[in-house]
A and B are shown apart, each in its own frame.
Chain A
Amino acid sequence: MTAFIRDQWYVAAYAHEVGRTPLGRTLLGEPVLLYRTEDGRPVALADRCVHRRFPLSEKPSRLDGDRVVCGYHGFTYGPDGRCVSVPGQRRIPRTARLTGYPVVEQDAFVWVWIGDRDPGDTLPPRAPWLDSPDHTVVSGMEPLDADYGLLVDNLLDLSHETYLHGGYIGTPEVAETPITTEVDEKSRVVRVSRHMDDAACPPFYAESTGITGRITRHQDIEYHAPCLYLLHSRVAPVGTDERAFHVEVVYGITPSTEHTTYDFWAVARDFALDDQKVTDFLRESNHTVVMQDVVALNALQKALDTEPPGYQELSINIDTGGLAARRILARMAAEPA
């Protein structure tokens, strides 16, 4: 498996998912409860009552004002995690406290810090298009029954679009076009660029932009290890740069357990902002593409689970970016806490 990397921000949920109903997510193996206080602040606490470990995100657990009440025996906690009430007695045990997690709401995501040290001034990487009046966004989250490293591998090598996503976002030119890879060791960002000068326009872009002929297509990936993947996608009819359409594809990659991952996906566009038909089409077709990846990665994980330790792979030129990402993840995992 790909080792968990602690002391990092991870996408725990979309901002619209966190409200006045307790929400449970497992982040790097830790059960986390998410909700909002009455004044709208997001709260992230350990999702287990200190008494008998009942999940506080599970009904009949509920919110009472800013407090969460365990649905099993009524232990009640404030938004700082402190237990304020236990059943049948006045004395509240000193250890009755839920672990609280640093939480930040940014770019339509609720980010939670998973780690042992304090985040200090460290903030999550940005995806500003998701919360911008100049863009229209479709988004979703798919649970993946696979190691998060498989999703990183998948997203860093877009040549798979030609085969796995043919007829949606893939055309022959994607797999045929050489890539440039840049690895910034200090900021832990991997960039992979593929610029196609004369390519077929896949249905995903033809139907959403109205382009009928061939296109220039740029794919510029920015992977902020370990948690955020950005694909700056630009398409324009060949020879008409001023009519470029921009799509910002964002993935929050959040390990849940060793073999499960939250795949937060979002697509922001800077054209046809109010066109509901385009929105519906992009939501449906992108969901289809994401599910093609989910099915493939789940099958791959099952296959890998049957492999003996130390199994061999073969890497070729298309894997340059993926190998860079794997190496950065391995280095981060090896760093002392």
Chain B
Amino acid sequence: MDAPPPATPSASEVHRIHWLPGTDHLLAVCHCGAEAEFDDPVALWEWLLAHPDGHRTRTNESP
């Protein structure tokens, strides 16, 4: 089973992932406010867990 690698969270971390209606895209919202779109949930989790690497607040760009 391909469990993504464990990460150590800080306090009050909530990640949200929205499946954008009418598309195959997932919008990841990190607890820091950074956002990015993906079409692969594994890549999405790698990006979320890489926080803060590649997380620019309020960005809509794919990494």
Enumerate chain A interface residues (CB-CB to B < 8 A): 2, 149, 153, 178-186, 312-313, 315-317, 319-320, 323-324, 326-327, 329-331, 333-334
CB contact under 8 A between A323 and B18, given known A2-B1, A330-B4, A331-B7: no
B6 touching A185 by the CB < 8 A rule? no
A183 touching B15 by the CB < 8 A rule? yes
B21 touching A327 by the CB < 8 A rule? no
Shortest beta-carbon distance from B36 to chain A in Å: 14
Size bracket, chain B contacts: 20 to 34
Interface residues of B in 1-37 (CB under 8 A from A): 1-9, 11-21, 24, 26, 31
**Interface residues of chain B: helix, strand, loop or mixed (majority):** loop
18 A-B pairs (CB sep. < 8 Å): A149-B1, A153-B1, A178-B18, A178-B21, A181-B16, A182-B16, A183-B16, A183-B17, A185-B13, A185-B15, A186-B12, A186-B13, A317-B19, A317-B24, A319-B41, A320-B17, A326-B4, A334-B6
A185 touching B41 by the CB < 8 A rule? no
* Chain A neighbourhood of B21, CB < 8 A: 178
* Contact residue among A181, A327, A329 (Cβ-Cβ distance under 8 Å from B17): A181
A313 touching B2 by the CB < 8 A rule? yes
A320 touching B26 by the CB < 8 A rule? yes
A323 touching B4 by the CB < 8 A rule? yes
Question: Interface readout for B39-59 with A: 1 if CB under 8 Å, 0 if not?
Answer: 111101100010000000000
Shortest beta-carbon distance from A44 to chain B in Å: 30
Among A178, A180, A184: residue with most chain B CB under 10 A: A178
CB contact under 8 A between A317 and B26, given known A178-B20, A179-B19, A323-B4: yes
Query: Complex: how many Å from CA A305 to CA B18?
Result: 34
Apart from A181-B17, A317-B26, what 7 extra A-B contacts exist at CB < 8 Å?
A: A178-B20, A182-B17, A315-B42, A317-B39, A323-B41, A330-B5, A330-B6
* Chain A neighbourhood of B3, CB < 8 A: 323, 326-327, 329-330
